[in-house]
Structure 1
Amino acid sequence: MNNLGDFINLIRKQRHDFMNDIQIIYGYIQTNKIDKACTYINKISEINEAISEIYNLGDNNFALCIESNIRKLIRNDVKFDIDIEIEFFNFNIFEKSYDKKCTLVNNIFNELENNGTECVYIYIFHDDLGQSLLISDDEGMLDEINWMENWNKEKIDIVDLELYTCYYDNSKAYRINFIKN
């Protein structure tokens, strides 16, 4: 995020989403559907808890990019499942070349969403290759991490990142390794 205008637009969008949530809850209460109001509040709480865990990793730029994609999935009725197995990032991954890195992540989410997936799986982890982000349309693709010979390394011109792709049947997975230079 490079300028004040982008920041203001983000705040306005978040305010709009918040007001929409309040209106939905208020509508349930007005129509005496208290159980639905409680269910909706729990859903919002779970989403915010997941987003909070992303910010707790220590890279606000990375978290903002992932949060924006999660909120877009929600608006488009696509489910998401996130699993974070690290406590914090070793360095601020998105500090340099934010626009390029976020565009890459956005393109991955867009491709999965445009292919009609019902759920996007997000996995943030550490293994022999370092800290990584996996985004997939199939939870089973998480098992493919151990078989890196099945992954194709893609050529990208972005500092501090390596991109791998894996296709199996109709499933797709993208692994982004974070490289400290």
Structure 2
Amino acid sequence: MLLHYSYIVMAVSIPQAIVRMWLTFAIWGLMPRYHARKLILFAVVSSILIDIDYLFVPAIIHVLTSTCIVFLVLYVIFRKFGIRNVLVVFLSYSAVSLLTDLMGFILLQTAYGSFLPAGMARHHPLQYQSVFVPIGLALLLLARYLENKNFAYFQRLYQYFINIKQTRTTEVVLLTLFQAFLLGLLFAIGSEYERDYSGVAFNLVFYALVLLTFGAFFYTVRLLVRIREEAVRQTQDVYVEEIGRMFTIIRGQRHDFLNHMQVISSMLKMNKLEQLKKYMDDLVKESNSVASVVSHSSPALAAFIQAKTELSLSRGISFTCDIPEDLNIEATVKSIDLVKIVGNLVDNAFEESDTLPPDQRRVRLHMGISDGLLTIEIANRGRLLSDAEKQMMLLPGYTTKKTGHSGLGLAIVQERVSHYQGRLQIESTEEDGTTVRVAIPHRQRP
């Protein structure tokens, strides 16, 4: 008994735990070689405790207790990481372990028959190791490859999980993880069926977990539908708000028209021509801004630009727009999506400009049709962005702001641009700042 236990711990559990956790760290770019001692300590402690638990606890309870053991040992050893980092590592390690065990048992069934005896690692060590040792070596090679390459995509994904906020998206992610846990529970129970369960007990547990899995799936679908509805409603609210601002400005200027005429008449009677010229210049500038709103082919976009122009003045930002009045884009992109794309880009540029000295607060918006593409370009001054930052900015939840920002702006733009089969590009230089370019295939109005 003691010999079998020692063999399982030393030859199976500890090596598997080391390799799987090493791979988990490598996936997220956590530099496992710098945490080698702690990884080995985790593997030794968790393996000993889990195998002791296996000897004295029924299988259904062991599945739960072993999961708790892994999390607690991981948290104690890596508590300096913080609870969120530990939780992400724990869930990733559980997923890697589940997939590895699933692949191993499939290969065992392929090599040694569909009906595998219970406790293969203890009673048939050669057959068990003939499959899991090659898998372990393959995982170790994969971990080394990922560690050397240090893929930016996984870093962006890791940042998303770390910075995720309490939203409906969070609920979807948690439900997906819950479903994966239920599937792992089903797999673990099935593998221990002959050791601990009667047929009736196994069937009851199996059917209960299947029902929970389907329940989680349908609730996930429901959440996705609600997320879409909320996104549309929020964009509509912005659309209505910008239209309201436009008409408020127009009504205000119409109301002031008589006052302007009275001032002009008075200055003429008093022969104050220089003051009148300056007054007329200011009046023409204000009138031109409204004229551009009225004459533009896309009222929604024009109203939005007008509102942002007013906002830029209040924030001390020089906001210039280069948009042809006859720009035909209604067949290319819906107005509500265009406002969503341009709005998030302009908001990001304004927020970055707020951090700069007043003389550097400049934002430029350009739109046009070129080579069969609708092009949207937002440029603003700002700090130089690294290649990794430019990639991570497209990930939901990632933000370079300190507080009060969801980090969803560019991710929303990317999603809408992809919907129209377009592309998004971010450029950053010390001389020109940051430029975001969007290109969407242009379709002529029928």
* TM-score for both structures, normalised by structure 2: 0.30
More strand by share: 1
| Candidates 18, 22, 30, aligned match of 2:253 | 18
Q: Aligned letter for 2:347? A: N
1:23-172, aligned counterparts within 5 Å?
Answer: 33-52=275-294, 55-56=296-297, 59-84=298-323, 87-90=326-329, 91=331, 93-97=333-337, 100-101=340-341, 103-116=343-356, 117-128=360-371, 130-137=373-380, 154=394, 156-158=414-416, 159-160=419-420, 162-170=423-431, 171-172=433-434
Structure 2 unmatched ranges of 5 or more: 1-234, 382-389, 395-410
Percent sequence identity over aligned pairs: 11
Provide the alpha-carbon RMSD of the alignment: 4.0
Cα pair 2:309 2:319 within 8 Å, conserved: yes
Distance 1:106 1:17, change over 3 A: farther
Deviates more, 1:66-75 or 1:28-37: 28-37
Alignment-derived partner of residue 146 in structure 1: none
Cα pair 1:134 1:174 within 8 Å, conserved: yes
Q: Secondary structure at the match of 2:335?
A: coil
Following superposition, the deviation at residue 165 of structure 1 comes to 1.6
Q: Secondary structure at the match of 2:333?
A: coil
Structure 1 unmatched ranges of 5 or more: 139-151
Cα pair 1:129 1:177 within 8 Å, conserved: no
> Which digits, 9 at most, give the CA deviation of each residue in 1:64-108, with x for residues without a partner?
322221221233343333323583224252435467435423423
CA distance in 2: counterparts of 1:168 and 1:94, whole angstroms: 32
Whose Rg is larger?
2
Q: How many residues align?
A: 165
More helix by share: 2
Q: Aligned letter for 1:14? A: I
Distance 1:50 1:173, change over 3 A: farther
1:2 counterpart = 2:2: no
Deviates more, 1:12-21 or 1:31-40: 12-21
Cα pair 2:369 2:442 within 8 Å, conserved: no
